[in-house]
Structure 1
Amino acid sequence: MEEANSNNSKAYLIAIIVQLIYTGMFVFSKAAFDHGINTYVFIFYRQAAASILLLPIALVAERKNLRSLLSPRLLLKLFLLALVGITFSLNLYNVSLNFTSATVASAATNAMPAVTFCFALLLKMESVRPRSSSGAAKLAGVSLCLAGVLVIAFYLGPALSPVNHHHAFSTTGAAAAAPSAATSSSRRTWVKGTFLIVLANMAWSLWIVLQGRLLREYPNKMLVTVAQCVFSAVQCFVAAVAAERDFSKWQLRLDITLLAVLYTGLVVTGVTYYLQAWCVEMKGPVFFATWTPLSFVFTMFSSSFFLSEIVHLGSIVGGILLVAGLYSVLWGKSKEANRQIAPCDNNVNTAAAHAADDGEENSNQRHHKAQEKTASATIVEQV
């Protein structure tokens, strides 16, 4: 019981840490794009850095298990997972981030609980009973998450002053991305970017669900993570060459761009993917996805402080709806977990009661036999 509570605490802590790391990813990536690096080249550098970090560690730590990874069927699954959840999702996401802002990208990511829940429901990894309180809470939470995303996307409201006017990372071009200053053309670009973010998050949600199923078949999180990093690095190189054939623009400078590559490659891809795989294996894909609204709250403050992005009232209202949806889904899942544990406890108590009854019955039988032996001995002595 204590071990189960310890694992639950670790899962909650890891989920929060992952969202903090993703906050840094939103801010650093947007700052790098504002400095002019090609998004496809950036993703290739990110995945290459992660592969360089993780591959030697995996070869040393998991050398005894490498043979099991050489199954053509498993390698094909990992290749396709990397293609959908990393190469396609990340490239699409970064193109959309270049069109919008870190706050909007983080806000749109909060549609993941709804999308992941739908995918898990279709793949029969999750179930819902609308008439039960837990099922109604999960559905209400998903609805609140979707409502929050829609509010953020379509309602701006009054603009709030940046937390820090002397921003550290943004450039003059970054300020032009503010929705309040958008022209008709830039507004269409903003809508297109938001649509691309949602599409990228759908691919990401599908990847989370499919990875959860793969880890049941092959539970080695380190090798699964490293194999996908290597596959995605190769795939992203092909995409980057197709998008930017002028290799003079591939050069990294000693500025925020290099810092963003190192952070996203070593910390986000290298560390977070492993922690995420551990969390998905422990608590399931929907549990992990429901924590994504926290990154919106963190990113809204961080982007305002570091990038001097303008935050609107609509973002705050949407954030409140997202947090309400988060805790509604968590409450529903917690209630379902307690309902599943209760029958097990009842069965254990029933078995213990039966065992106690059997023990008492055996004790009585032994007592009667002892009395019979004593009586027999007494009769023999009298004779």
Structure 2
Amino acid sequence: MAAEKGLMGLLPLVVMVLVQVGYAGMNVIAKVAMNAGMQPLVLVAYRQIFATVALAPLAFYLERNTRPKITIPLLVNIFWCSLTGVTGNQVLYFIGLQLSTPTIGCALSNTLPALTFVLAVLFRQESVGIKRISGQAKVMGTICCVGGAMVLSFYHGHIIKIPESGIHVIDNAAGGAGASSSAASTAMSFLGPLLIIGSALSWAVWFVLQARVSESFPAPYTCSWLMCFMGSIQCILIAAGPNHHVAQWSLANPGALSAALYSGVVCSALGFSLTAWSIQKRGALYVSVFTPLLLVVVAVLSWAFLGEKLFMGTLIGSVFIIGGLYAVLWGKDMEEKLVAVAPLGEVDKHGDPVSTMVFNKEEQDVELQLPAAAGGGGGDGRAAGVA
């Protein structure tokens, strides 16, 4: 039984790593498609359309017996989720990606853990607890993740001499030249980076809103379907203005079709559902802290499929990102263990045990353990409170 709970506790960790791998592939495929002439707003609109179609059977069959009642207040909350997590986030990100590069886009997106942590604290979904080792681990881990992302993006160092992968299946020579030219022409412009930061802020707001929706409506597939359906209408209306010619909506190009299908099915349909489920199990901060892994995966995929070189900065930044991620997961797990063992009635609304004698004793006991259970069954208490 304990082993089973441990495996279930690890499941959100595995799920979020897979989600980041999916997003990493989208960054490469979407940039190639936009370099070939696909408009970013059209790509965002198609992404939501394909996601809505892909999620419909999952929402109907998997949750037909467990789905709570859909109410008007719930639909209003999901509308705000779609406006922030779908429309605002993706429109701002893809336009910013077109005006910059995938590296800059990934780097600035890694402000997400810091933004989510601040918002989660303001909305009382997380407690700082800076005087405790668990709170210090969360704060320092978040800073370490963001700092590692910046190092990985903007510091190269010398090239690490490793053999080529030999599986360069994507010919991005023209796309790379185009990206370099585009980046050079907009080097003095702050529009692209500002749009990407705005995208990260919109995404952070969605994390906080989705955490509240998941508490009252624990049906991630249905919630994601409604969100993508509303988002598709919003994105079509936004894209139709500057892209009113039929030719601009053509998917005859294999690259455009692949980008639309991949981003819609993998990144929106599966990505939103799995992320919503993980938020329901472990909270908004837990999920957002996986975002810096995107840079590590993009670096590996770029080496494997695009033939790019790996630099010392990539290695150093990756170490900081993994270390920071581990620290946050360990801090979250420690907090949940402390709350779980606190006597009934001695936990305040922020999840902090009131009894300092019991709290300090348990914290000392936890500190003596090896931090190998960072992704362990700490989410069971939260999941039980939601499901």
Shorter-chain TM-score above 0.5: yes
2: CA distance, partners of 1:97 / 1:155: 20
1: CA distance, partners of 2:271 / 2:325: 21
Letter in 2 for 1:125: Q
Moved more, 273-282 or 193-202: 193-202
For residues 93-172 of structure 1, the aligned pairs below 5 Å read 93-152=93-152, 155=155, 157=157, 163=164, 168-172=170-174
For residues 1-383 of structure 1, the aligned pairs below 5 Å read 2=2, 3-62=4-63, 68-69=69-70, 71-152=71-152, 155=155, 157=157, 163=164, 168-178=170-180, 183=184, 185-189=185-189, 191-308=190-307, 313-343=312-342
Secondary structure (helix, strand or coil) at the match of 1:188 reads coil
Q: 1:231 to 1:212 in 2, by over 3 A?
A: same
Instruction: For structure 2, list consecutive stretches of 5 or more residues without a partner in the other structure.
Output: 347-387
Moved more, 14-23 or 232-241: 14-23
Residue 109 of structure 1 deviates from its aligned partner by 2.4
Residue 267 of structure 1 deviates from its aligned partner by 1.7
Aligned to 2:350: none
Q: Deviations over 1:20-67 (max 9, x none)?
A: 111212121112112110000011111101111222443455556778
Q: Confirm or deny: 8 A CA contact 1:175 1:309 kept in the other structure.
A: no
Q: Deviations over 1:181-217 (max 9, x none)?
A: 964x43224x532332222011111101110111101
Secondary structure (helix, strand or coil) at the match of 2:111 reads helix
Q: Confirm or deny: 8 A CA contact 1:104 1:152 kept in the other structure.
A: no
Residue 254 of structure 1 deviates from its aligned partner by 4.3
Instruction: For structure 1, list consecutive stretches of 5 or more residues without a partner in the other structure.
Output: 348-383
Secondary structure (helix, strand or coil) at the match of 1:337 reads helix
Q: TM-score, normalised by structure 1?
A: 0.80
Q: Deviations over 1:302-359 (max 9, x none)?
A: 12433445666545443333333222222222222232234359x9xxxxxxxxxxxx
Residue 100 of structure 1 deviates from its aligned partner by 2.5
2: CA distance, partners of 1:269 / 1:188: 33
Residue 115 of structure 1 deviates from its aligned partner by 1.2
Q: Confirm or deny: 8 A CA contact 1:28 1:260 kept in the other structure.
A: yes
Q: TM-score, normalised by structure 2?
A: 0.79
Moved more, 25-34 or 165-174: 165-174
Q: 1:160 to 1:106 in 2, by over 3 A?
A: farther
Structure with the higher fraction of residues in helix conformation: 1
Secondary structure (helix, strand or coil) at the match of 2:179 reads coil
Q: 1:106 to 1:27 in 2, by over 3 A?
A: same
Moved more, 8-17 or 225-234: 8-17
Secondary structure (helix, strand or coil) at the match of 1:244 reads coil
1: CA distance, partners of 2:48 / 2:6: 35
Secondary structure (helix, strand or coil) at the match of 1:187 reads coil
> Which of 1 and 2 has greater Rg?
1
State the percentage of identical aligned residues. Answer: 31
Q: Deviations over 1:144-203 (max 9, x none)?
A: 233234445654555779956956142414224349x964x43224x5323322220111
Q: Confirm or deny: 8 A CA contact 1:111 1:145 kept in the other structure.
A: no
Q: Confirm or deny: 8 A CA contact 2:149 2:295 kept in the other structure.
A: no
Secondary structure (helix, strand or coil) at the match of 2:342 reads helix
Letter in 2 for 1:327: Y
Moved more, 302-311 or 42-51: 302-311
Moved more, 49-58 or 227-236: 49-58
Q: 1:324 to 1:193 in 2, by over 3 A?
A: farther
Residue 124 of structure 1 deviates from its aligned partner by 0.2
Alignment length, in residue pairs? 342
1: CA distance, partners of 2:248 / 2:333: 50
1: CA distance, partners of 2:15 / 2:141: 22
Q: Confirm or deny: 8 A CA contact 1:102 1:303 kept in the other structure.
A: no
Residue 231 of structure 1 deviates from its aligned partner by 0.3
Q: Confirm or deny: 8 A CA contact 1:170 1:308 kept in the other structure.
A: no
Residue 81 of structure 1 deviates from its aligned partner by 1.1
Q: 1:35 to 1:311 in 2, by over 3 A?
A: farther
What is the alpha-carbon root mean square deviation over aligned residues? 2.8
Q: Confirm or deny: 8 A CA contact 1:290 1:326 kept in the other structure.
A: yes
